[in-house]
């Protein structure tokens, strides 16, 4: 997956996140919250992958060597 593909996926996920946030709260709120959490995790993974690719490129390395990290690892980063 190249940077353009990742950015496209991020755009799709942002749209899905917004539609979940705008959905009526009365329709299965627990399911909607679970879906929202999964979308947010996928977004974090995509942003992490994009940052990895950019860092490898800046370091003169092959950006294609970047890999999607597990949710637990990405979500465990300190900010």
Residue range 9-30, pLDDT digits in tens:
999 999 999 999 888 777 678 8
How many domains does the chain contain in total? 1
Judge whether 49 and 6 are in contact, CB under 8 Å. Answer: yes
Contacts of 63 (CB under 8 A, 6+ apart): 2, 3, 52, 53, 54, 56, 57
Host domain of residue 20: 3-75
Look at residue 13 in the predicted model and tell me its pLDDT: 98
Which residues in 22-47 are b (16+ Cβ under 10 Å) and which e? eeeeeeeeeebeebbeebebbbbbbe
| pTM score, whole prediction | 0.87
Q: Specify the higher pLDDT residue, 1 or 55.
A: 55
């Amino acid at each position: 997956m190249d940077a353009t593909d990742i950015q496209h996926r991020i755009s799709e996920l942002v749209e899905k996140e917004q539609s979940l946030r705008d959905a009526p709260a009365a329709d299965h709120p627990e399911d909607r919250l679970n879906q929202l959490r999964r979308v947010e995790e996928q977004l974090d993974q995509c942003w992490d992958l994009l940052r990895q690719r950019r860092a490898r490129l800046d370091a003169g390395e092959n950006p294609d060597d970047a890999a999607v990290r597990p949710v637990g690892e990405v979500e465990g980063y300190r900010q």
